[in-house]
């Protein structure tokens, strides 16, 4: 019986784990209800600006804040008013889609921050 309880606990913890790329995302513990989140980026042909599309699913109705920080080829952050914290309302079991555009063509990489409260930096 004890082994069964331990096994069920492990399965329950694994089911609650958020699936995401830890190199691209920083997700605070107060957003545990986001069950998966992915990012796919491409470069716009019209101006060579990088665009990132963020998708995911939440397990409950909630409000989160996200922010995309952009970095140049040397890993230095790019300053921009476009990188401000954005409020997003999520619906339970409904996919969410966010899009962010780099502030200029020098942006080569990005990191997405997601939190239960406004993100200041």
Q: DSSP letters along 3-42, please? A: HHHHHHHHHHHHHHPPB--TTTEEE-GGGTTEEEEEEEEE
Residues of the chain with confidence (pLDDT) below 50:
4-17
Contact 51, 36 (CB under 8 A): no
* pLDDT value of residue 1: 55
Q: Which domains does the chain have, with CATH numbers?
A: 18-115 (2.60.40.3230)
3-state secondary structure of 111: strand
Extract the tokens encoding 106: 């020098």
* pLDDT value of residue 80: 80
């Amino acid at each position: 019986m004890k082994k069964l309880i331990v096994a069920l606990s492990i399965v329950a913890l694994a089911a609650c784990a958020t699936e995401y790329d830890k190199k691209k995302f920083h997700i605070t513990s107060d957003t545990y209800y986001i069950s998966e989140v992915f990012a796919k980026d491409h470069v716009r042909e019209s101006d060579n600006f990088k665009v990132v599309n963020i998708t995911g699913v939440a397990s409950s109705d909630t409000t989160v804040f996200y922010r995309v920080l952009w970095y140049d080829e040397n890993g230095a952050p790019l300053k921009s008013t476009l990188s401000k914290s954005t409020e997003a309302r999520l619906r339970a079991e409904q996919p969410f889609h966010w899009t962010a555009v780099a502030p200029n063509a020098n942006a080569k990489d990005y990191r997405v921050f997601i939190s239960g409260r406004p993100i200041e930096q």
